[in-house]
């Protein structure tokens, strides 16, 4: 069996005395779209923050193609190839769309390649090109999400983590963003999606991990989990 792309083993983490993640183990395969679902407060965002080095875990290991990331600062994690699109977009107010995108490439020095990636992002989301000089935070929610995803891509990651893709967006927009993610995925980028909206996540991702109170409770292909009566009842309201 080939080694997993992202391998998370026995991660425990929290804030101060409050432990949020009790024992998280999961692995993401190269080239797939995986998703992490779970209710509010289950620890999904904390897990992403732990992977990207903002939260320090108290135990466990996180490996990207064999490289240990626990103990790395956020800039080292980004350099290793993991980009994190945070919950709520978090675009920089007062900076233009293009400046926001360029901040995604902050750690890179390869000017030519950066320019190519910028036009790749503009091809993916043509509306961003139209609005390139506008203050990014004055755009609609959907456009801001596009900008946030584009900013993530600008770091030329091997793994793109997106926290709450659908938050505050109209269903039709979420569908379109989902199609774009599939397109980005086809170009070779592995994607880890975190969603509260299970239906949306299952439509986009191939495999899913369900997190409950800091543990992975169930995992499997989204096709199989989508037919699991317990999942249907707990998360899809069917």
Partner 1 sequence: MDILQILLNGIVLGSLYACIAIGFSLVWGVLNIINMLHGSFIILGGYLTFFAWQYSGMNPVVILPIIAIILFGLGYGLQYFFINKVVMAPVLTTLTLTFGLDMILYNLMTVLFTATPRRVTLDLGTLSVGDLYLPIDRLLGMGLALLLTAILFLVMRASKIGRAIVAVRMDRQAATLMGIRVNHVYAITFGIGALMAGAAGAIFSMVFPITTNLTGTFLGKAFVICVIGGLGSVPGALIGGIALGMIESIAGYTIGPQNATTVGFVLMLILLVVRPTGIAGVKGYE
Q: Which is nearer to partner 1, 24 or 78 (CB)?
A: 78
Q: Which is nearer to partner 1, 54 or 218 (CB)?
A: 54
CA distance 3 to 216: 20
The nearest distance, CB 21 to partner 1, in angstroms, is 18
CA distance 11 to 60: 4
Q: Which of 193, 223, 229 is nearest to 211 (CA)?
A: 193
Helix (H, G, I), strand (E, B) or coil at 209: strand
Q: Which is nearer to partner 1, 95 or 127 (CB)?
A: 95
DSSP H or E segment with residue 15:
strand 6-15
The rounded radius of gyration (Å) of the Cα atoms in the chain is 17
Are 33 and 205 within 8 A, CB to CB?
yes
**Count of CB atoms within 10 A of residue 145's CB?**
26
Q: Which positions lie near partner 1, rule CB under 8 A?
A: 52, 54, 73-75, 78-79, 83-84, 86, 90-95, 99, 102-104, 106-107, 151, 155
Q: Which is nearer to partner 1, 90 or 215 (CB)?
A: 90
Q: Which is nearer to partner 1, 104 or 214 (CB)?
A: 104
Residues 6+ apart with CB under 8 A from 100: 91, 92, 136, 147, 151
């Amino acid at each position: 069996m080939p080694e997993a792309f992202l391998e998370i083993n026995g991660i425990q983490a929290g804030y101060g005395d409050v432990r949020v993640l009790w024992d998280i183990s999961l692995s993401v395969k190269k080239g797939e779209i995986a998703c992490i679902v779970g209710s509010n407060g289950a620890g999904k965002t904390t897990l992403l923050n732990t992977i990207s080095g903002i939260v320090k875990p108290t135990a466990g290991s996180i490996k990207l193609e064999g490289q240990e990331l626990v103990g790395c600062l956020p800039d080292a994690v980004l350099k290793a190839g993991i980009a994190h699109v945070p919950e709520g977009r978090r675009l920089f107010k007062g900076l233009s769309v293009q400046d926001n995108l360029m901040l995604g490439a902050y750690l890179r020095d390869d000017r030519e390649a950066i320019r190519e990636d910028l036009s790749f992002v503009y091809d993916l989301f043509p509306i961003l090109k139209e609005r390139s000089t506008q203050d990014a935070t004055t755009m609609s929610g959907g456009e801001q999400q596009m900008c946030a995803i584009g900013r993530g891509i600008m770091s030329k990651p091997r793994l793109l983590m997106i926290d709450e893709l659908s938050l505050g967006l109209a269903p039709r927009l979420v569908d379109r963003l989902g199609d774009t993610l599939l397109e980005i995925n086809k170009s070779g980028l592995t994607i880890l999606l975190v969603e509260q909206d299970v239906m949306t996540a299952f439509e986009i991702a191939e495999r899913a991990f369900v997190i409950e109170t800091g543990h992975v409770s169930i995992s499997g292909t989204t096709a199989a989990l989508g037919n699991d009566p317990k999942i249907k009842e707990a998360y899809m309201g069917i």
